[in-house]
Chains A and B, each alone.
Chain A
Amino acid sequence: DIQLTQSPSFLSASVGDRVTITCRASQDISTYLAWFQQNPGRAPKLLIYAASTLQGGVPSRFSGTGSGTEFTLTVTSLQPGDFATYYCQQFNSFPLTFGGGTKVEI
């Protein structure tokens, strides 16, 4: 199984900050990587797929980079609704796996 390791697990930030989250894969997954945002009690929301493609309707302050085994999600100018937990997920092979999550809090 492909393991995805996110760092950091927790991130303290303020409105207007730029934050970066890293996701490392245990083997090469090309760009078969997506990023999700999840607010408490809500379903995950797709932000980015194919490592860097912004899902429709997602603000451009979200961006993703990377390929192979190292990926990043960057949020420029954090907004109040961005304080949430973020997950990476790989589509390279079954079983589909998720990272452990990064909670972005004030």
Chain B
Amino acid sequence: EVQLVESGGGQVQPGGSLRLSCAVSGFTVNTKYMSWVRQAPGKGLEWVSVIDTSGSTYYAASVKGRFTISRDNSKNTLSLQMNSLRAEDTAVYHCVRGPANQWPIDYWGQGTLVTVSS
């Protein structure tokens, strides 16, 4: 059974940093494209970043240069290092499997809440 479990959320001051982790079970993280998708309170869905099977990474313009996606094959985890956080980064961050070429996002974690506030 596929499971994605996020951790690492919390409250941080503007300009601060936070690292999110996603524990993956049911498949090997380096065999699938993996993304982070966020949802601000009461708002819609926003794709943040993707890492493909070759390790190439892509980012939304709103986070490029501040966020870094990575994976640890030995621990089967996905991570998101978030620096220079802003109030507008406040959201629930979901770890998701996909999208990959013709295949959509098919599994979502419950998410972890990040609040950027002084």
On whether the two chains bind one another, the answer is no
Interface residues of A (CB under 8 A from B): none
Interface residues of B (CB under 8 A from A): none
